[in-house]
């Protein structure tokens, strides 16, 4: 009877997990907006903590941070946006002309090559037809949420309000998330969240510095090469630096197209300059700022970006890197360290059976003691007994016993 009840409980758990995953999939855009608010709140929290070190209360620090953010936004739109808009309007007119010149140049180059090789290669029209569905899918999914009943302005207001609600008092939300896990694993979840905070803070510091450095280097380089509309193109390059791997590729298209209208050698010079700048950003700036706290393989990063862009649209592509960072921390801490690294085969279980029985006996004596201390001192007896049956908890409690002795 107990075995049947256990199997029924297992099936019930599987059904509950399936329903939860289905609901999360249906509200994935809202969850992504929540994640964006968490990332923004994490960035502002760095400024809030700095003010708290100066003796300012958190509520006042949050208000000051909001005022500084508003002032910076107003200053940006007042000083940078007007000339950027004027240059961007010219950029919109010049880039298509540059692309047409590029296509004509490629066709002229193709006429000089072997005809058999040309027939084997895809044409520009074929490449455009293949990429068009993917671009439409990404753009459609990315804007579908913002073009809902709320609209873009209200969605941005909702994002800011949610950000400052999380920033004002993050402790209840954090504890509520931790309580979604079993009692024996809550301390571990809290440690994982700390690792996520550190990883996001390292990434935010690095990406803000990189965006500013890329914008300045782009403006100086394009000005030296006498490429028109240097300010707008440098601003685009700095913004696209937020999207690793794909962003630098997109940012090089406008200056190359405009340079081709002036002189073909300038387009090649712009390409070489952007490649060198990207290598400096990757090999020097990123490693100097992040200090190897975040290490991701480029191929995995690119595949993850394509996945998030396909599933969530442009907003998923924009938030792909912080999603990858948080996912990497959870994958490393939960799957690798807590499950796979503690996996034992049948032979290992037989060899360590006597030692494990001794550990359980020691742990039971600690449970029966009214002066139990440590990880489970505040838990209920049922939770403690459940934790004793968990190999992961057995190892942690054994380590605590060794430290006490």
- The domain boundary, picked from 323, 339, 374, lies at 323
Range of the domain at 364: 359-404
Which pLDDT score, from 0 to 100, does residue 190 have?
93
Q: Has residue 124 been placed in a domain?
A: yes
Q: How far apart are CA 164 and CA 156, in angstroms?
A: 12
Least Cα distance to 193 among 178, 182, 180 occurs for: 178
pTM above 0.85, yes or no: no
Rounded-to-10 torsion of CA 299, 303, 309, 312 = -130
Q: How many CB atoms lie within 10 A of CB 80?
A: 13
Domain assignment present for 166: yes
Q: pLDDT tens, 152-209?
A: 667 778 888 899 999 988 899 999 999 988 889 999 999 999 999 988 888 888 888 8
* Cβ proximity of 94 and 257 under 8 Å: yes
Question: In Å, what is the CA distance from 345 to each residue of 3, 352, 388?
Answer: 24, 11, 20
Report pLDDT for 192. 93
197 in a domain, yes or no?
A: yes
Q: Does residue 283 sit in the same domain as residue 385?
A: no
CA atoms within 13 A on the CB side of 6: 3
In the predicted model, what is the mean pLDDT of residues 338-361? Answer: 58
Residues 264 and 369 in one domain: no
User: How would residue 379 be classed by pLDDT, with cut points 50, 70 and 90?
Assistant: very low
- Would you state the torsion angle of the CA atoms of residues 171, 177, 183, 188, taken in this order, to the nearest 10 degrees? -80
User: Does 271 reside within a domain?
Assistant: yes
Cα 278 from Cα 210, distance rounded (Å): 10
Count of domains observed in the chain: 2
302 & 374 share domain = no
Which residue would you say has higher pLDDT here, 285 or 209?
A: 209
| pLDDT at position 374 | 33
Identify which of 123-127, 212-216, 392-396 has the greatest average pLDDT. Answer: 212-216
Report which of residues 52 and 103 the model is more confident about.
52
In a domain, 92, yes or no: yes
SS3 of 21-41: HHHHHHCHHHHHHHHHHHHHH
- Spell out the alpha helix ranges (H) of 244-342: 246-251, 253-262, 264-280, 286-290, 298-312, 314-318, 320-330
Do 312 and 385 lie in a common domain? no
d(C-alpha 50, C-alpha 36), whole Å: 22
Distance of alpha carbon 201 from alpha carbon 275, whole angstroms:
27
Residues 319 and 382 in one domain: no
> Could you tell me if 330 and 188 are in contact, meaning their C-beta atoms sit under 8 angstroms apart?
no
Tens digits of residue pLDDT in 87-119: 666 666 666 766 666 667 666 666 666 566 555
Among the listed residues 207, 203, 225, 204, the one whose alpha carbon sits nearest the alpha carbon of residue 274: 225
Q: Could you tell me if residue 187 is inside a domain?
A: yes
**In the structure, what pLDDT confidence band is assigned to residue 134 with cuts at 50, 70 and 90?**
low
Does a structural domain hold residue 174? Answer: yes
Give the number of other CB atoms < 10 A from CB of residue 343.
8
Clarify whether residues 38 and 90 are in a common domain: yes
């Amino acid at each position: 009877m107990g075995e049947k009840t256990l199997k029924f409980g297992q099936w019930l758990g599987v059904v509950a997990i399936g329903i939860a995953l289905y609901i999360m999939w249906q509200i994935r855009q809202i969850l992504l907006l929540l994640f964006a608010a968490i990332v923004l709140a994490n960035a502002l929290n760095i400024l809030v903590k700095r003010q708290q070190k100066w003796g300012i209360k958190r509520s006042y620090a949050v208000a000051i941070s909001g005022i500084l953010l508003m002032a910076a936004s107003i200053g940006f739109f007042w000083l940078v946006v007007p000339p950027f808009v004027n240059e961007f309007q010219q950029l919109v007119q010049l880039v298509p002309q540059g692309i047409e010149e590029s296509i004509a140049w490629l066709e002229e180059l193709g006429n000089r090559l072997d005809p058999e090789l040309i027939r084997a290669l895809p044409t520009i029209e074929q490449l455009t037809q293949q990429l068009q569905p993917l671009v439409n899918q990404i753009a459609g999914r990315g804007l579908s949420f913002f073009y809902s009943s709320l609209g873009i302005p209200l969605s941005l207001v909702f994002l800011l309000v949610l950000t400052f609600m999380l920033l004002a008092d993050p402790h209840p939300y954090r504890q509520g998330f931790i309580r979604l896990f079993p009692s024996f694993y809550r301390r571990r979840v809290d440690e994982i969240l700390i690792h996520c905070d550190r990883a996001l803070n390292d990434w935010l510091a690095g990406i803000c510095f990189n965006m500013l450095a890329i914008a300045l280097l782009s403006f100086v380089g394009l000005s030296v090469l006498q490429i028109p509309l240097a300010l707008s193109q440098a601003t685009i390059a700095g913004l696209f630096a937020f999207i690793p791997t794909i962003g630098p590729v997109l940012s090089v298209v406008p200056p190359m197209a405009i340079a081709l209208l002036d002189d073909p050698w300038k387009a090649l010079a712009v390409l070489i300059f952007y490649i060198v700048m990207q290598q400096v950003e990757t090999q020097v700036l990123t490693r100097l700022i992040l200090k190897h706290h975040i290490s991701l393989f480029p191929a995995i990063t690119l595949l993850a970006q394509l996945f998030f862009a396909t599933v969530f649209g442009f907003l998923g592509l924009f938030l792909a890197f912080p999603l990858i960072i948080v996912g990497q921390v959870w994958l490393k801490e939960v799957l690798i360290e807590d499950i796979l690294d503690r996996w034992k085969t049948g032979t290992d279980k037989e060899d360590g059976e006597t030692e494990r029985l001794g550990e359980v006996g020691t742990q039971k004596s600690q449970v029966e003691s009214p002066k139990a201390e440590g990880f489970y001192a505040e838990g209920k007896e049922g939770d403690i007994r459940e934790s004793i049956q968990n190999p992961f908890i057995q190892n942690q409690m054994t380590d605590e016993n060794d430290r006490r002795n």
